[in-house]
Amino acid sequence: MEKKPHFVRREFLPREVPSISLALLLAAVLLLNALLYLYLNKFSSSLGRIETDSGLCPFGHFKFGAVKNCSPWLSCEAINREVRKLKCVGEGAVKKVFLSEWKEKKVVLSQLTNSELKEDFLHGLKMLKALQSKHVVRLLGYCEQQFTILTEYHPLGSLRGLNETFHIPRYKGMNTWHRRLMLAIDYVSVIRYLHSSPLGTLVMCDSNDLDKVLSQYLLTSDFHVLVNDLDALPLVNRSAGRLVKCGHRELRGEFVAPEQRWPYGEDVPFEDDLMPPYDEKTDIWKIPDVSNFFLGHVEGSDIVRLHLFDIHAACKKKDPAERPSAQEVLDTYRKVLTLLIREAAMPGTREML
C-alpha cells in the first residue's frame, strides 16, 4: 500500500509533459493570433486609405510632398510663368509629355500634339478633374486654351517598367509575392473605383493589349498604382440603355473581351455601325492577364495564382453577365492576401495541433 502513490506518480508524469507543451503551444498560437489581428487591422486600414483619405483637398485644389496647405490649381498664366520644361519623356497619339519643374519640384506637363484629337484631350482633362482621388494621378493645373495639363511627377514611371524597377538594388527586397499581390489589389481597386465613380460606370477603353494597359498606370515611389491616362473613358448607363464601344476600329486578339471582337466572322467585312456595344465587364475579362503580369515569377507567386484560380476563371466567362463585379474581384483578392499572410505568420501550426 505504501508504494501506490509512488507508482501513480511514475505512471502519470510522462503524460503531464505533453500537456504542458500543448498548453504552451496553444498560448503561443493565441499570441500569434493577437499579433496577426493587430497587423491585419493595420493592413485593412491601409487598404482603406484610398477610399477615405482625409488629406484630399477640396475640388479645384491640390497639395503634394511635405506641403500641408492646399493650393488652387495653376491657371494658364501661372503655368506659363512658373513652369519650366526640362525634357520630353514621352509622346502618344494625343499628347506629348514633358518632365518639367515648378518651384524646384519635378512635375509633368502634357500638351496636345494632334488638333484632330482635341476632344479626346479635353475629355481626359474633364475626367482628371472630376475623378481626383488616391486612385488617380494628382492634377496640379491646366490651360484649356493652350491644351495643357500639369500633373504630379512619379519617377518610377508607368507600370511597363515594373520588372526593371524590381531589379534596381534598392527595390530588390520588395520583389515578393506579397508586394506584387498588393499592386494587383491596387489595380483592381482602380477598376472598381472607375466602375462606381462619382460620374457613373466608366470603362477603361485604352486597354486593347497588356502593354497599352500598363502604359495607362503609374507606379508611385511607395509602390502603389495610380491611373494616369483618362482620355478614353466612356460612360455606361444601363437605365438609359447606353453602352459603349472602345473606338471605331476592329479589335482582335485574346486579350480583349469576346464581346469586343467582330461577331459576324471573317466573311463579313467589319463595319462600325454593325458592331454591338458592350459594358464595363470588358475590364473584368482583362483582370487575370494584368494580375498575372503583376505576380511575376517570384517565390510564392504560383501559390497566389492557385488561390485566385476560381475568381480568374469567373472573370473569363464568355457571357459578360456571368463575370463578377470589380468589387467581388477586389474582395476575393483581399481575402486571399489575408489568408496567405495568416499562413505565413503561423506555418505548420495546423499540423502541430
For the stretch 117-176, pLDDT in tens is 999 999 999 999 999 999 999 999 999 999 999 999 999 999 999 999 999 999 999 999
Instruction: Provide the mean pLDDT of the chain.
Output: 88
Tell me the backbone φ, ψ of residue 344, rounded to 5 degrees: -70, -30
pLDDT one-digit tens code per residue, 293-347? 999 999 999 999 999 999 999 999 999 999 999 999 999 999 999 999 998 877 6
- Contact, 331 vs 183, CB < 8 A? no
Out of 46-50, 114-118, 198-202, which region has the weakest mean confidence (pLDDT)?
Answer: 46-50
- Contact, 47 vs 334, CB < 8 A? yes
The confidence score (pLDDT) of residue 65 equals 73
DSSP state of 169: G
Out of 46-50, 75-79, 83-87, 335-339, which region has the weakest mean confidence (pLDDT)?
Answer: 46-50
pLDDT one-digit tens code per residue, 258-275? 999 999 999 999 999 999
pLDDT one-digit tens code per residue, 230-261? 999 999 998 888 999 999 999 999 999 999 99
H helix or E strand, kind and range, residue 282:
helix 281-295
* CA nearest to 111, candidates 103, 122, 126, 102: 122
Distance CA 125, CA 121 (A): 6
Domains and CATH numbers, the chain: 72-153 (3.30.200.20), 154-345 (1.10.510.10)
Distance CA 148, CA 109 (A): 7
102 — pLDDT class (breaks 50, 70, 90): very high
The confidence score (pLDDT) of residue 58 equals 92
55 — pLDDT class (breaks 50, 70, 90): low
Q: Residue 223, SS3?
A: coil
The confidence score (pLDDT) of residue 347 equals 63
The confidence score (pLDDT) of residue 7 equals 46
Q: For the residues 37-62, what does the mean pLDDT come to?
A: 60
- In this prediction the pTM is 0.83
Query: Half-sphere exposure of 57 toward its Cβ, with a 13 Å CA cutoff?
Result: 17
Query: Half-sphere exposure of 150 toward its Cβ, with a 13 Å CA cutoff?
Result: 26
CA 179 to centroid of chain Cα atoms: 12
The confidence score (pLDDT) of residue 345 equals 76
Residue linked to cell 456595344: 277
Kindly list the distances between the CA atom of residue 105 and the CA atoms of 36, 226, 278, in Å, as whole numbers in the listed order.
40, 19, 42
- Contact, 121 vs 112, CB < 8 A? yes
- Contact, 244 vs 278, CB < 8 A? yes
Distance CA 293, CA 213 (A): 11
Distance CA 205, CA 292 (A): 20
DSSP state of 92: -
Distance CA 83, CA 146 (A): 14
The confidence score (pLDDT) of residue 21 equals 65
34 — pLDDT class (breaks 50, 70, 90): low
Phi-psi category of residue 147: left, alpha or beta, with phi > 0 → left and psi -120 to 50 → alpha:
left
What percentage of the chain has pLDDT greater than the value 70? 82
The confidence score (pLDDT) of residue 100 equals 98
